[in-house]
Amino acid sequence: MASPEAVKKYLAYWFQLQKPVIIARQNKAILPKRVVMGDRYSLEFERCWDLISDPATGDCYVKGTNETIQELLSSKWDISDCARCSMPVPIIEVGFQESSCVCDDLDNWPNNELPSPREPVKNTKALSDIHRRLNRTSRSC
């Protein structure tokens, strides 16, 4: 089962590659301009997530996919890395899956010359981890 955090990460990564989410009931595409702000997701992204993850909004899906966000939040689906591009993709846990990676219709992806989409980074934690590793390395020398 895909956790809400995994589905949120999935959306954040694809938003960073300019893949909008379609809100079927409103026949509208949404794509936040900014997804990550330092160590957290942007307010704009959080508002999109609140709208998209609300069952009252109706069917929402990443453009180029068939699975709705509500389906991804069910026990039938999981989120895993694409074998082709390492981006998060929905994988059915039970049954047969017809669709492929969302990256199928991106002509310029995967592209190792561009920065990869990412999650927010907590600088203090990342720096503490580096500091701890450096201390271990210096003690072993």
φ, ψ at 28 (rounded to 5°): -135, 140
What mean pLDDT is reported for the chain?
86
- The 10s digit of each residue's pLDDT in 70-129 is 999 988 889 998 877 888 888 887 655 565 667 677 777 777 777 778 778 777 877 888
Q: Return the higher-pLDDT residue of 4 and 131.
A: 4
What integer pLDDT is reported at residue 140 of this predicted model?
Answer: 63
Q: What is the pTM of this model?
A: 0.71
What integer pLDDT is reported at residue 53 of this predicted model?
Answer: 95
Q: Which whole number is the average pLDDT over 30-47?
A: 95
Residue 31 confidence (pLDDT) above 90:
yes
Contact between residue 59 and residue 10 where contact means Cβ atoms under 8 Å apart: no
Query: In the chain, what are the domain boundaries?
Result: 4-140
Distance CA 35, CA 136 (A): 35
- Using left for φ > 0, alpha for ψ between -120 and 50, and beta otherwise, residue 87 falls in beta
What integer pLDDT is reported at residue 75 of this predicted model?
Answer: 85
Residue 69 confidence (pLDDT) above 80:
yes
What integer pLDDT is reported at residue 112 of this predicted model?
Answer: 75
Q: Return the higher-pLDDT residue of 15 and 95.
A: 15
Q: Facing residues of 28 across strands?
A: 23
Q: In Å, what is the CA distance from 99 to each residue of 1, 45, 67, 92?
A: 18, 26, 9, 10
Distance CA 50, CA 55 (A): 10
